[in-house]
Structure 1
């Protein structure tokens, strides 16, 4: 198996394509959206429904940009936390018997 960095470099890493939320509310909301979409497809004119789909596509694009920014911010926060922990090794808990830091 390739390392994560090799897979990322080769374009083989797509975590966003495999995310399936485990929150039960996700599936409930997804079903509601499907039901409403079908209702509007039947009730609206073709032109009005196309406009609704365009609006929906814009909302999805906007949300995707927000999720991307949140991912980047969270990743940087996690990396900074690791950096902080590793840079302060002297503050780590020490073994009471030996006085040696526990890494």
Structure 2
């Protein structure tokens, strides 16, 4: 079995593809979005609906950037927490006496 570092180096780990929300409101919210888009598709001209889709694509792109930044910040925070725990290892052992 290859290490996670090898998999990461080879480009076999795509974190954004692995994230699937388990939040109970996620699927109902996406259903509402789809239903609302269908409603607007029927109300708007094709030109206006295309503009709405472009706006939604821009919002999705911004959301992807935000998710990327949140992931990196979370990863860095986790690494700092691990470093702090490892650097304070002696303190934990002394406290157990």
Report the TM-score range of the alignment, normalised by the length of the smaller protein: over 0.9
Distance 2:46 2:74 in 1: 41
Shift of 1:90: 1.2
Give the TM-score normalised by structure 2.
0.92
CA deviations over 1:18-49 (Å, ceiling 9, x no partner): 22111110011000001011111111101000
Q: What root-mean-square deviation, in Å, do the aligned CA atoms of Structure 1 and Structure 2 show? A: 1.4
Structure number with higher helix proportion: 2
Consecutive unaligned residues in structure 1, runs of 5 or more? none
Task: Specify the alignment match of 1:78 in structure 2.
Answer: 78
Confirm whether residue 38 of structure 1 aligns to residue 38 of structure 2: yes
> Is the partner of 1:24 in helix, strand or coil?
coil
Give the TM-score normalised by structure 1.
0.87
Aligned residues: 97
Distance 2:7 2:82 in 1: 22
Which structure's CA Rg is the greater one? 1
Confirm whether residue 17 of structure 1 aligns to residue 17 of structure 2: yes
**5 Å matches for 1:52-91?**
52-91=52-91
Consecutive unaligned residues in structure 2, runs of 5 or more? none
